[in-house]
Amino acid sequence: MPLFDQLYNFAHWLAQDRTEAEDLVQEAYVKALKGFSSFQPGTNFRAWMYRILRNTFLTSRTGLKPTATVAIDSDDSPELPAGLETPETILIDNSQHQLLQAAIDALPVHFREVLLLCEVEEMSYQEIAETLSIPIGTVMSRLSRARRTLRASLQQKLVRT
């Protein structure tokens, strides 16, 4: 299945629930297969699939409702060589991941999706614009605001600790 892992990751970030993410990806593939005749050869297939996934999320039963946060699995983080890990470094790493996850989760969906498509999925501004059906200027504006909001939130949380 083309793009399966990337679509699942994006769906998981949007829905913040593994089961919901799996359902979203499955539903997006079904919609893509049913509507494949609407795909225009020579256009960006990746952006087309992400747009289907995003629209599926926005019209899903959870859509834009707030959901509980989900902790990032420690399996996703790079492991330090043996001998460098101490209880203190493990605690600091976990707390940093939790701070970042909470700050990303607190972003409005329209900021979070642009940030994740750019930074995690490494899409170009043009691909993001096509995926979200918004002008490229809006992509740049939302990305800038998302980064600024994320930075301010993390700085505020780090000052308190």
Q: Report how many domains make up the chain.
A: 2
Flag whether pLDDT at 75 surpasses 70.
Answer: no
With respect to residue 74, please indicate whether it lies within any of the assigned structural domains.
no
Residue 44 CB partners (closer than 8 Å, separation 6+) = 127, 130
User: What is the CATH classification number for the domain harbouring 24?
Assistant: 1.10.1740.10
E strand or H helix at 29, and its extent? helix 18-34
Q: What is the pLDDT of residues 9-34, one digit of tens each?
A: 888 888 888 898 899 999 999 998 88
With respect to residue 77, please indicate whether it lies within any of the assigned structural domains.
no
b/e burial code for range 83-103 (CB count within 10 A of at least 16 → b): eeeeeeeeeeeeeebeeeeeb
Flag whether pLDDT at 74 surpasses 60.
Answer: no
User: What is the CATH classification number for the domain harbouring 144?
Assistant: 1.10.10.10
Helix 4-15, helix 18-34: angle, nearest 10: 130
45: domain range?
4-58
With respect to residue 15, please indicate whether it lies within any of the assigned structural domains.
yes
Query: How much is the pLDDT for 149?
Result: 93
Residue 116 CB partners (closer than 8 Å, separation 6+) = 10, 13, 14, 104
Asked if 96 and 54 sit in the same domain, the reply is no
pLDDT grade for 148, boundaries at 50, 70 and 90: very high
Query: How much is the pLDDT for 87?
Result: 63
Query: How much is the pLDDT for 124?
Result: 92
Asked if 53 and 97 sit in the same domain, the reply is no
Nearest residue to 12 via CA among 57, 78, 59: 57
Asked if 39 and 99 sit in the same domain, the reply is no
Question: Quick one: average pLDDT of 99-106?
Answer: 84
Q: Round to whole Å and give the CA distance between 31 and 148.
A: 35
Asked if 98 and 50 sit in the same domain, the reply is no
